[in-house]
Amino acid sequence: MVWRGILVILSVVFAVCVAVEEKEHVLTLDHTNFTDVVTKHNFIVVEFYAPWCGHCKKLAPEYEKAASVLSSHDPPIVLAKIDASDEANRGLATQYQLKGFPTIKIFRNGGKKIQEYNGPREADGIVSYIKKQSGPASPEIKSKEDAANVIDYKKIIVVGIFQELSGEKFEKYITLAEKLRADYDFAHTLDAKFLPRGEQVDKPTLRLLKPFDELFVDFEDFEVEAMEKFIEESSIPIVTYFDKDPENSIYVSKFFNGIGAKAMLFVNFSTELDAFQSKYKDVAVLYKENGLKGLSFLLGDVEAGEGAFNYFGLKPEQAPLIIIMENDGQKYLKAHVEPDAISSWLKDYKEGKLKPYVKSQPIPEVNDEPVKVVVRDTLEKMVLNSGKNVLLEFYAPWCGHCKALAPILDEVAVSFEKDSNVLIAKLDATANDIRTDEFDVKGFPTLYFKSASGKLSQYNGERTKEAIIEFIEQNRDDKPAQSEADSTTSESVITDSAKDEL
């Protein structure tokens, strides 16, 4: 019994020791040692986390496993972490412009170069990604065996073909590879015959191999900016497919992150794909061949595009439908589109003949709560052209901060109940299009104040009844409210204007 007790104690002690040893694989940093540690390393990975963050908690054991494996790498690769929510470390969070948790950054050359980590969040994927990032930005292909090891036929890879591995063009290529290594795979060679696609070349050439469209494309301008633009444009398919195939997800991300207007056609892939895809691709090819590069094309499955339908305030029953979304958020839409009508509809868009589509909730039949409900179709009437002092909240129904603010705004509204020159209102920014020329809404809740004379300002003060009331009193105008007759005339004009816009 004594020996059994001793063995239990020893096993517990051993387990604790192992746990401590495992925890030491991820180096813990704070504001006192962060700069010194990063400066001493040519390559170090740092996770900025918050202890209360669910995603951080999920990542922690995977990050730990990866750190254990990478500590045995030759040379060892250090993974570190810092609690960026700690008040003492907030300066570093600001310095590195954190937008959420967890954020992982790769620091090179003693912190002189910083790269966002865009890899997997499970141990094996982290190890694979970090090993690749710690090596050369562009490995050399010296044989067909090298090419087979480097080139993944399902991914995009950029290959520099040179007659010698020196000179200005080669140096610019390496600069490009270092800059974009987190987003693309690179390699270089002295002999194009090792590559699976393309002919021999007798001058420095950038060859982009891809698993779609023409499968490879060459480029000869070695200015870094020109190469970067070439890669960005060439790595998006003529038509991006949006379905449940995980291999398409990277191209869908590139499509939505790309610049320029976007054309999106949603059909039922199981019953309508054959009727639409060839005609849609023909239109996309025509646009590209005619040099009309301002429009990218996506073909999406209705089932996979549920999120897109919710975003645009549409219903699957409206498919097949085509949507165009411009950089400023302006949208154009045609529901129940026929395959043969796509080309002429896009032609009308390019010629400016289409009217924008504006998403708006229905105008509420009853609007008698202290905080009045505004929708996109009443924004001009109730806020911008109301002649009143209006505090408008842009909110999301699921937002916890918005829910906490709601009773406070109710109290503010009640305090101004007998003041006809002041209105407290709210607009669901997830269900109504926002006037981006007037309002800059990047998070929820966002509060704007429009004075009676039309001056617009954002409210960034404390979210208390007293602070909000004080702000309204200091920024309001004493312009008298419109007479009923004037209000009726104004409303009539605004309604006609709104109808024209819609």
Tens-place pLDDT, residues 26-66: 999 999 999 999 999 999 999 999 999 999 999 999 999 99
Measured from the Cβ of residue 415, the count of other Cβ atoms closer than 10 Å reads 16
**Whether residues 344 and 245 fall in one domain:** yes
CA 468/CA 461 separation, integer angstroms: 7
User: 79 near 28, Cβ under 8 Å?
Assistant: no
Helix (H, G, I), strand (E, B) or coil at 82: strand
33, 54: one domain: yes
Q: What are phi and psi of 52, to 5 degrees?
A: -85, -5
Encoded tokens for 237: 């398919």
Assigned domain for 307 exists: yes
152 in the same domain as 109: no
Give CA separation, 221 vs 159, 168, 186, 229, in Å.
Answer: 14, 12, 17, 11
Strand partners, 242: 300
Domain shared by 216 and 168, yes or no: yes
Cis amide leading into 75 (omega within 30)? yes
Distance of CA 231 to the CA centre of its chain: 19
E strand or H helix at 446, and its extent? strand 446-450
Strand partners, 141: 189
For residues 247 and 321, membership in a common domain is answered with yes
Amino acid 291: pLDDT: 56
Residue 360 lies in a domain: no
Report how far apart the first and last C-alpha atoms of the chain are (Å, whole number): 85
Model-wide pTM > 0.75: no
Question: What is the sign, positive or negative, of the torsion defined by CA atoms of 453, 459, 465, 466?
Answer: negative
Q: Which residues are catalytic?
A: 53, 56, 399, 402
pLDDT tens across the length of the chain (502 residues): 434 443 444 444 444 444 444 457 999 999 999 999 999 999 999 999 999 999 999 999 999 999 999 998 888 999 999 999 999 998 998 899 888 899 999 999 899 989 899 888 999 999 988 988 888 899 999 999 999 988 988 889 999 999 999 999 999 999 999 989 888 899 999 999 999 999 999 999 999 999 998 899 999 999 999 999 999 888 889 999 998 888 888 888 888 887 788 999 999 999 999 999 999 999 999 887 775 557 889 999 998 888 888 777 788 899 999 999 888 778 899 999 999 999 999 999 988 899 888 888 999 999 999 999 999 999 999 999 999 999 999 999 989 899 999 999 999 999 999 999 999 999 999 889 888 778 988 889 999 999 999 999 999 999 999 999 999 999 998 755 443 334 433 333 333 333 333 2
Q: Of 303, 342, 304, 351, which is closest to residue 323 (Cα–Cα)? A: 342
Confidence at residue 119, expressed as pLDDT on a 0 to 100 scale: 85
Same-domain check for residues 126 and 226: no
Residue of 240, 316, 237 whose CA lies nearest to 272: 316
For residue 340, give its domain range.
240-351
Domain match, 313 and 394 both: no
Rg from Cα positions in the chain: 29
Q: Which two tokens stand for residue 97?
A: 């412009």
Q: For residue 339, what is the DSSP state?
A: G
Distances from the Cα of 19 to the Cα of 221, 365, 447, angstroms: 54, 62, 48
Give the CATH number of the domain where residue 160 resides: 3.40.30.10
Instruction: State how far Cα 28 lies from the chain centre.
Output: 29
Task: State how far the Cα of 340 lies from the Cα of 162, in Å rounded to an integer.
Answer: 47
Structure tokens at 38: 């990063």
Supply the pLDDT for residue 10. Answer: 44
CA 197 to each of CA 192, 296, 317: distance values in angstroms, whole numbers, following the listed order: 9, 26, 44
Residues 6+ apart with CB under 8 A from 225: none
The answer as to whether 54 is a domain residue is yes
Q: Are residues 245 and 215 in the same domain?
A: no
Q: Which of 189, 213, 235 is a domain's end point? A: 235
Enter the DSSP assignment of 100. S
Given CA atoms 182, 185, 191, 197 in this order, what sign does their dihedral have? negative
Determine contact, residues 472/449, Cβ cutoff 8 Å: yes
Taking CA atoms, 96 is separated from 90, 92, 268, in Å, by 10, 6, 44
Domain count, the chain: 4
Q: Flag whether 3 is in a domain.
A: no
pLDDT in tens, 140-161: 999 999 999 889 888 899 999 9
DSSP 134-151: HS-SS-EE-SHHHHHHH-
- In this structure, the number of other CB atoms found within 10 A of the CB of residue 206 comes to 24
Buried b (16+ CB within 10 A) or exposed e, 280-306: bbebbeebbeeeeeebbbbbbbbebbe
Does residue 244 sit in the same domain as residue 344?
yes
Q: Residue 208: which region, alpha, beta or left (left: phi > 0; alpha: psi -120 to 50)?
A: beta
Q: Is residue 427 part of a domain?
A: yes
Is 480 a member of any domain? no
102 upstream amide cis, omega within 30 of 0: yes
- In which residue are the tokens 């499970």 written? 122
Rounded to the nearest 5°, which phi and psi values hold at 138? -140, 100
Is residue 399 domain-resident? yes
Give dist(CA 83, CA 29) in Å, integer.
8
Boundary residue ending a domain (176, 202, 235): 235
For residue 356, tell me if it sits in a domain.
no
Q: Is 67 helix (H, G, I), strand (E, B) or coil?
A: helix
Q: Are 43 and 76 in contact (CB under 8 A)?
A: no
Whether residues 301 and 250 share a domain: the answer is yes
Q: What is the pLDDT of residue 479?
A: 59
With 0-12 CB in 10 A as exposed, 13-18 as middle and 19+ as buried, what is 130?
buried
| Rounded Cα–Cα distance for residues 433 and 358 (Å) | 6
Residues 331 and 377 in one domain: no
Residue 173 contacts residue 160 (beta carbons within 8 Å): yes
Nearest to 331, CA basis, from 250, 243, 436, 237: 436
In this structure, the answer to whether residues 41 and 68 fall within a common structural domain is yes
pLDDT at 501: 31
- Give me 212's structure tokens: 């779609």
Strand order in the sheet with 372-373: 372-373, 422-428, 389-395, 446-450, 456-459
Of 134, 164, 181, which marks where a domain is finished? 134
Length of the chain: 502
In this prediction, residue 305 carries a pLDDT of 83
> What local confidence, expressed as pLDDT, does residue 293 receive?
59
